[in-house]
Amino acid sequence: MMEYSWGHITPPYEVEYTSYIENDKNPFFLRSIGEYNNDGRYFTKRDGFPYCQFIYTLEGNGDLEYMNKKTLLIPNSLIVINCFQYHLYKTEKDHWHTIWIHCGGRYTLSLVDFINENGLFITNNIDFRDYYKRIKELADNKRDISDYELSILIHSLLMEMIRQKSHLVKSNLKRFTPSIENAVSFIKENYHQRLQLREIAKASSISKFYFIRIFTDIIGTTPYNYLTSLRINESKKLLLNTDLSVQNIAEAVGFSDANIFIKNFKKFTGNTPSNFRLYNPRSIITLSEKTTRAAAHSTREQPP
């Protein structure tokens, strides 16, 4: 689907570029490049267009509807969008002057989706005008190696956006670190209880909706996996240093029943709790007890 309305203040510049290399073999390729100076009548609405688009605002403002969100595009801002997804952009009032690039390739759309995975990424810290100038020169003066040079430039531009996005994410995560540390302390103090996610999120003062993602980004694993791993580690201590039954240990570290405990213990360690205790040299169980238990364990595993 595509709908549009022209409304150029000055004649547009636009170049359709044909690559020497087959597009399905090219990791990054240029499709078209242009400059539009638009009045209030201009808009483009489409989806299913299998390319990405860089849009840089020189003057005026644009309105963008993308990823179910409306965004104002102001001067010196750069975005990149996946044109296969529904999007609508238009002049915000009576003037919007932009330079833009359409490109594709085997890896392009997946990188663009990564850049915008947490919402539309907008930057004003990339010298897009320089990228645009170099790409425009290659498009206007095509040579045998232009396709390779264009591929390198497009890849470099995408990587620069990814680096800036990653830096921004890390900066944003720093302010949540104390909140996540509170959640970790809460888990450590209460792992033996029947904890619910909402209780852990409440300890961090972060809404449940954002908590899982922020916790995972900072700690490196989900709250559930962190809690389970902590319970398994605590259960190892009890298995080696006490003669409590597996059932009692399961309850002591917060599992609702022994079967769930055994299943998770094997998932995390590759062994059952009984075998971990039986064959670990650090276990407090005496050698004679181990021999007796090993014999009983072997008998239970004999086929009828």
Q: What are the pLDDT digits (tens) for 79-133?
A: 999 999 999 999 998 999 999 999 999 889 999 999 998 789 999 989 999 999 9
Is there a contact between 52 and 80 (Cβ–Cβ < 8 Å)? yes
Predicted local distance difference test score (pLDDT) of residue 287? 47
Q: Is 172 helix (H, G, I), strand (E, B) or coil?
A: helix
Hey, what are 252's tokens? 């002591």
The rounded distance, in Å, linking the Cα atoms of 200 and 227 is 10
Q: Predicted confidence band at 214 (pLDDT cuts at 50, 70, 90)?
A: confident
First to last CA, the chain: 68
Q: Give 213's contacts (C-beta < 8 A, 6+ positions apart).
A: none
Predicted local distance difference test score (pLDDT) of residue 302? 43
**Would you say residue 282 has pLDDT above 90?**
no
How big is the CA angle at 2 (ends 158 and 91), to the nearest 5 degrees? 70
| Averaged pLDDT of the chain | 88
pLDDT one-digit tens code per residue, 146-173: 888 999 999 999 999 999 888 777 776 7
Is there a contact between 91 and 42 (Cβ–Cβ < 8 Å)? yes
Indicate if the alpha-carbon torsion angle 285, 286, 291, 295 is positive or negative: negative
| Token pair 């259960």 in the structure block, residue | 235
**Beta-bridge partner residues of 2:** 46
Q: Predicted confidence band at 293 (pLDDT cuts at 50, 70, 90)?
A: low
Angle, helices 197-204 vs 177-190, to 10°: value is 140
A 10 A CB-CB count for 60 gives 21
Is there a contact between 121 and 82 (Cβ–Cβ < 8 Å)? no
* Residue ranges of domains in the chain, CATH in brackets: 2-172 (2.60.120.280), 177-301 (1.10.10.60)
Q: Is 62 helix (H, G, I), strand (E, B) or coil?
A: strand
DSSP string of 194-209, one letter each residue: ---HHHHHHHHTS-HH
pLDDT one-digit tens code per residue, 13-24: 888 888 766 666
Predicted local distance difference test score (pLDDT) of residue 294? 54
The rounded distance, in Å, linking the Cα atoms of 209 and 227 is 18
- Indicate whether this model's pTM tops 0.85: no
The rounded distance, in Å, linking the Cα atoms of 22 and 28 is 11
Predicted local distance difference test score (pLDDT) of residue 182? 94
Predicted local distance difference test score (pLDDT) of residue 52? 96
**255 vs 9, which has greater pLDDT?**
255
